[in-house]
Structure 1
Amino acid sequence: MCVRRKPIVVVALLALLGVFGVVVVVNSVGGKIQLPQLGPECIVRADGEVALDLVQMANAATITAVGMRRKMPERAVVVALATAFQESKLENLDTGDRDSVGLFQQRPSQGWGTPEKIQDPRYAASKFYSALKKVKGWQKMRVTDAAQKVQRSAYPNAYEKWADESTVLAKALTGRATGAVECTINGEPALRGAAAAAALAEGMRLDWGKGLGAVDESQPGGLSLAVKNVNIGWRYAHWLVSHASSTGVQRVRFADREWSAPDGKWQPVTGAQGAGNATVVAEVFR
């Protein structure tokens, strides 16, 4: 006699979600229980809309920052993001086809570097841009054709389906859109106080390099950056929101707007609290 066991793990998970007040709707299809989608944590709006989770958002911001640091045009960022979308869904994978790893599924056996190096998003992005820069005429190619020249994939047209999403992300993360990156972050922060502020400053330096503006770390509760223009200001502000989950950022202010972690929205700020157009201010959880 064959007895079917109840899905104990799923039942336990549903019970746990109920404890935290999550409304759960369960569908049963073919005897299988389907858990609901809880929704994205980040929404990017810039002549289009893209929904990502916090990890994807941080990786997209790092890929963009590395491109800006290397003085690559926005089109290069679009190609890089479309490639990472297709290869890893913007996740820093530790495995893949044959010996492929990382955001771009680069292969150590093909000269991209050691597995450890390739799994550093900054290194991987920099190697991708270096390879793209060597492709003659890549600026005039379709996104998928430029990406394929670098990746040499068995599916050369697959990158094109991510072109629209990547264009939205690139516009926002290069600073050409206002208040375009909104992430909602709940729960206990990863870091607090001086540790969070130090990690935040270090992360910015690693992503943006020597081109990063003057960083004021005099306050243990965060940092401020002097910026030359509004585009650069939004570039940094959007990076801060994108990396807020892992660095303990609670609040970001720029151009008389403010983003806060639990709310996840950019709101107008007036009076003395407004940061103006010359300074980006980030506050961490204390």
Structure 2
Amino acid sequence: MEAIRQLCGFAAALERLLVAENADKLEAMWDDLDLGQLGWEALALARRANTEALEPALAEVDRRLLAALERCRAFLDPHIVTFRVPELERWQHAAAAALVGARWGVAGLRTVIADSRAPLGRRYFAFLALAERHPKDAWPLFAKYLSTPGAHHAFVAAAVEAARYYPGHAPDVIALFQRIRGDEMLRRFLAPKILASLYVLGDPAALPLYEELLVAGHTNRDVERCEVTRALVGVRKLTGRLAASSKYPDPAEPGVIRALDEAQRIFEEKRDRLEPVVVI
């Protein structure tokens, strides 16, 4: 099983950190192992796997993370303390949440989410794992975060991504966009996730928003963060037409179709991929 293989590889890499003699050697080892990518890929697979078979491997990763945290904190190196310790902490919360999911399933994840005494990071990763599993009866919880002003941005983002698995609830996602569109920071953070979920839902209710964004949407070189590109693809998916936009005034230009085809290919590849937020 790929998830178990990745978790075992991550555990082995963490064990190597424990023998680092000083901060410089630990940093070099971190880079050589490409630990950042290795860790997040392993934990993402574990979060999505939804199987008890992962419990032993996750428990081992959890133990190694705690040991690595203790080792890194002992160095008192500014770079290690500023960058590596926080990442290890996030991995430990992610591993602990995945372990709860492997042991006790959805009920365990709900317990962690509801525990106000639990670390925020752990509650977030449990919430994200619940979004990955998206049980039918979990929608009211996700909807609560979509409709509550001032809710923690990380939980709102996970709820937005979860919405793609609940047909018929596009209006809730659209209402969130309308509420946060004037807040530039929130919009830059949430809009790509909102539009990604609306793309997956394929609900005609999103068409008025798409048509508005063709003219007033934010643009970006990254197609995943470009509101206009997402609106163009959304309009084409719902209606079959190539619309004019602020980014492509003449939709008949040869490069426009190629650009939209490539953007849609990327959107399709990531339609079932939920990404953890960078800052929690």
Say which structure is richer in helix: 2
TM-score bracket, normalised by the shorter chain, equals under 0.3
TM-score (norm 1): 0.25
Say which structure is richer in strand: 1
